[in-house]
Amino acid sequence: MMNRSTLFLSLVLSLTALVSSAVAQSNSVSKANPANPKGFTSYTEFGGTTDSDGQVYSLDSSVGYNFNQHFGVDLGLPIYFVRAASSTTGSSTSTNGLGNPSLDLRLKFNNPAVNYGSVLTGYVPTADSKRGLSTGRGTFDWTNHFDRSFSRLTPFVDAGVANTIVDSRVFRRPFTTLGFNSHFQAGTNVDFWSFFSAGASAYDILPSGQQTVFSKVAGSGKSGSHGRIFEQNQQTTGGADIAKDNGFSAWVDANPKPYLDMELGYTRSVHYALNSVSFGVGVNVGYLARRNRRQ
């Protein structure tokens, strides 16, 4: 019998093939996304997550190129600023450093039935694994996104596979992992008025096989309750259970300018019994550069 992770992987691949086939057979013509025209792109975001283990902030910058409305690439580099809570380490400590550079390939098709996007990201292991900023190995994540709008409501589903757990927009984790996993997220976004929107989702991470957890906030005296092994040791290797997680998130977005994104979020990790609050401020540098050239 197939285990849960194998079954989920089969479902992901089947959904991807099904939607890709539907897009290819559609007679409708996709229009270029005004926010992603052909040419060079650049985006910078500063954000962070705070919880009982401390604070994890990051400055993420990327440059890329859109070949057309369907396909693009990006190069990214994060800088981390981590402050572990004194309740975790016995004393307040800080860790700053570069994260792993990344390269992603983006594919996007808009369709009246369902919009489909796929992002394959590879990470180069140049960051310090002893600080929890890397696994010391090359890693990847392949995520597929499906959504459809109904007036102001846009339900979505994300499904993918990876050999590391990637941070979400509203949850910069106090650890990173090495080991195969399949991941799933489903939720909805709602446009309210003017430039405000909100959303909520549930997520599930299903590791398979041996996992290694690298902590950003490791201490020496914490009990590691609710499976939080990242509170006890800087590096832990074990079975799939040490990296699994599930929970839900909610967020509020504001886009007062075409080039400015702001977000406040909340995540409840049910598995870890961990409540986290996050924020993010992003600037579309590519948009500003194109606007200045037109003036």
Encode pLDDT of 203-234 as tens digits.
999 999 999 999 998 864 456 677 899 988 89
Residue 164 pLDDT greater than 50, yes or no:
yes
Query: Is the Cβ–Cβ distance between 57 and 42 less than 8 Å?
Result: no
Full residue range of the structural domain in which residue 91 is found: 4-22+54-294
Could you tell me if residue 288 is inside a domain? yes
The reply to whether 35 falls in a domain is no
Residue 48 lies in a domain: no
Three-state DSSP state, 102: strand
Burial category of 220 from C-beta neighbours within 10 Å (exposed 0-12, middle 13-18, buried 19 and up)? exposed
- Residue 42, domain member (yes or no): no
Residue type, 211: Q
Q: Which long-range contacts (CB under 8 A, 24 or more apart) does 56-61 make?
A: 56/80, 56/81, 56/82, 56/172, 56/173, 56/174, 56/216, 56/217, 57/81, 57/82, 57/172, 58/99, 58/167, 58/172
pLDDT of residue 289: 87
Cα(2)–Cα(161) distance, integer angstroms: 17
Confidence of residue 21 (pLDDT cuts 50, 70, 90): very low
Q: Is 146 helix (H, G, I), strand (E, B) or coil?
A: strand
190: in domain: yes
Asked, for residue 47, whether it belongs to a domain, the answer is no
184 vs 181: CA distance, rounded Å: 10
Are 111 and 84 in contact by the 8 Å Cβ rule? The answer is: no
- What is the total count of domains within the chain? 1
Among residues 252, 248, 282, which one has the least CA distance to residue 268? 248
Express each pLDDT in 186-195 by its tens digit. 999 999 988 9
Domain membership of residue 124 (yes or no) is yes
Note whether residue 31 is domain-resident: no
Residue 92: which CATH number? 2.40.160.40
130 DSSP assignment: G
**pLDDT tens readout for residues 80-110:** 999 988 754 454 567 899 999 999 999 999 9
Contact 247, 271 (CB under 8 A): yes
pTM of the model: 0.82
